[in-house]
């Protein structure tokens, strides 16, 4: 039977520790530090690239008119900044290639 559940944070840290010859505490620290760097760089520069994985980008969405699906009423959605993730070509090929 194939388990299709994604890795939990604990499982991810265990895998990272095993593959990088670190203990679990060190692997957790690396994961936390990477997330902190990604957040601060994306906020500061509007973009963060993780080579071989993808790019986090801040994108400005303009204001728009939308429709409430329950009532059909027109609603104004204000402009906002969102975070988008674009996968690298290497990641796309590694994930979607025939297994």
Residues 22 and 59 in one domain: no
Query: Quick one: 63 and 89 in the same domain?
Result: yes
Range of the domain at 65: 47-99
Please count the structural domains in the chain. Answer: 2
Q: Is the pTM higher than 0.85?
A: no
Give tens-digit pLDDT for 17-30.
999 999 999 999 99
Higher pLDDT, 98 or 42: 42
Q: Are residues 54 and 41 in the same domain?
A: no
Whether residue 95 is found in the same domain as residue 53: yes
Whether 41 and 52 map to the same domain: the answer is no
When pLDDT is averaged across residues 25-44 and rounded to a whole number, the result is: 95
Cα–Cα dist 48/74, whole Å: 36
Residues 32 and 74 in one domain: no
The string of DSSP codes covering 31-70 is HHHHHHHHHHHHHHHSEEEETTTEEEEEEEEPPEEEE-TT
Domain co-membership, 55 together with 88: yes
Does one domain contain both 70 and 87?
Answer: yes
């Amino acid at each position: 039977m194939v388990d299709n559940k994604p890795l939990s944070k604990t499982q991810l840290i265990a895998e990272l520790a095993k593959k990088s010859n670190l203990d679990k505490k060190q692997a957790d620290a690396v994961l936390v530090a990477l997330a902190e760097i990604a957040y601060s760089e994306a906020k500061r520069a509007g973009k963060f690239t993780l080579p071989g994985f993808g790019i986090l980008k801040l994108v400005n969405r303009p204001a728009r008119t939308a429709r409430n699906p329950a009532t059909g009423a027109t609603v104004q959605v204000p402009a906002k900044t969102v975070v988008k993730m674009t996968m690298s070509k290497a990641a796309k090929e590694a994930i979607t290639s025939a297994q």
